[in-house]
Structure 1
Amino acid sequence: MKLNTKTLAAVVGLSCAIAAPWAASSSGRHVEIMGGGGYHVWDADREIDDAGFYGAGLGFAFNRTWTVEGWWTDADSVDLETGPAEVDATEYRLDALYHLTEGGGWRPYIVGGVGDLTYDYEGVGNQSETRLNLGVGVKRMMGSHFNIRGDIRAFNSLDEEKTDFGAQLVLSWLIGDVSGPVPLDSDGDGVPDEVDACPNTPAGAPVDATGCPLDSDGDGVFDYMDQCPGTDSRLKVDEVGCPMKLAETVSMEVDIEFDNDSSIVKPEYRDEIKKVADFMSQYEGVEVEVQGHTDSVGAAEYNQGLSERRALSVAKALESFGVSRDRINGRGYGESLPIADNSTAEGRAQNRRVIAEIKARIETMEKR
């Protein structure tokens, strides 16, 4: 028995009509038009020569797990009992396939079904029986709309108490939703689990192509934890990605001497005052204390005022180098804090002075 052109056309037309409503579905529903062949090993009691077969089928996948198929197969064999008489074995079969995986690579499946087998003995007549079948197989997509599969089955006759075996290879054309399932992404980072090198990434964390959190500045702290992005990779950082700081105290002291009974800053001390201004510009927020002093010549009240005027002169000189006035603390001590003997000219010259004193607690970045 042969599958004629009209029958084949009807199969194709019917499959296209069924597939149309589900063409845009995302459930995995589709129609399969199938063709293939294989080899039948008949039960020895049938006394029929084992033979190859060919067939065509139409299937419908309800989802990515279950598919139902209708098949027509034909096998030409030889009756070993009566001689070289031809036997045409034709079967119409309804099968169900249960796929063990939803997609990706090879897909194993279990298949089972029921069919009506008719033997057409040349010159003798027909004989029919009902057969159940059960088997296993595997399939794989080839391109976007074709797959190839193979399976092996046992066929048990309900009428003859005979068991046959068969193996087949099938090529299918798929119409409808043939997209694979959405890959599993357990941590929701946009990278499928099968390629995710860093599972369980926190939700919302930016990741690379392998699913691992980004570290844009290379400081060893992931971006989603980094509270100081853009840190120089050469610096040591803490657990939130911020540079680790080293604290130290820096100080500077400059002595400026004055002529007797004078509050005018001598030109030779301009460079020393500039050094103080430069130091203060390097450490913003640092304040300077300008201390004015005198020798013991003259009244103490007068010397107190003179020391204050000397402190004010140095403060103005600092302002001329760009130091804000609110960062300068000027104070006169009069003759109360000598550093040398006031009974000598040399000692009195040392005591006529202004000291600019700076102390600062600064923090620097610690390198790796």
Structure 2
Amino acid sequence: MTKAVYKLRPNDNWRIGEHESWFADMAAHGFFLKKMGIPFAKFVKGDPKKMRYRIEVNSGDEITSEQKQMYAENGWEYVTSYNLFHVFSSPADLQAPELHTDPAEQAFTIETLDTKLTFSTIITITGMLLLIGMQAAVWFLDETPTLVLIEGSAVFQVIFGLFLLYSTYLSLQAAISIRKLRRNLIEGKPIDHHAPWKKRFQTQIIIGILLTIVMGLIAIIPIFQLAKIDTKTLPESSPDLPFIRLADLENDPDFIREEPVFFNDDVDRGNQYSFNWSPLAPLQYETSEHGFIPGEIQKYGEEYSSSLDTKVYQLRFPSLAEPVISDLIQSRSFQTEREDFIETSHPELDLLITYDKHKTKMVFAHKGNAVMYASYYGHTNIETIIENTVEKIKLISE
């Protein structure tokens, strides 16, 4: 029984001379081509033999039986087809005449391939430009690219975008190379049937392994994020969690949280915290908290209430901290003036920026690889918020 052997094959179908050379070298080692697949080619094992292989590019997807018969009469046996490419073989000692003795005539056989690759490249480039446009809108529409990078699926999008960029490069390279080959044939320069293929093939294997790893990461990242992300009702007390609490800011024994507002997930939406993960910020918290002091009436006759929203990030790289704070300020500056955000020094923080207008107070703090943001609405002074931030940021800063 003839033994079938499968070998990784070169990826670029349009490298006609290199494929012909590869088939011949494999036959010299006793492996004879039977079928081309993705990503393997099927060979049968036999005694080593010097063979010649030629690839005919047909204008249609199928090669006719008349063509096969004509080539067979000239010493070339049909082997297999893949896309527009049809492979014929002949023993070297038979010295069969070339399928094409006139390179200019052969140029017409790859006209369809030239047109197909050109059209494919135009479509690929158009799709790539549309993707870049959509990604640019996501990244820069709100002018907070660093937040997009660390909060959402931007890392996945970047890796996938690089993969598409590489695919576009390969498509463009194929179109240009086939156009150049066709021009050379018209000028009378024949295809090199012994073109070297080993170095390029080894490079393709390395790139293929790297792409496999990258695509694996692309698949894992969103799955891991979905496994990590969750939203829960805030506990009454959270001394071990790295975010400040509204009750600590109010410091009033009569202060109570608002009545729970539940949805079908049993989370109090008025007093909740979410945690998330991303490759660049493995620890992320976001909280929203509301409360009031019964019986404490403000000057407009309303009962006193306050609220606190926070965001906390433990970053993979400390160098991301200042861009994150800049983006956090940008995301809040639509309703405030940028100059109202004041940078001040603090002995226990690397960066401290505050906003204090009317009853709204914001604190942006950075220490090591940790970033904290707090937006408070109420009567408590800004110094109390800073003190609480300094204590909590110590839990996650490195």
Q: Structure 2 length normalisation: TM-score?
A: 0.20
Q: Structure 1 length normalisation: TM-score?
A: 0.21
Q: Point out the structure with max Rg over C-alpha.
A: 1
Structure having the higher helix fraction is 2
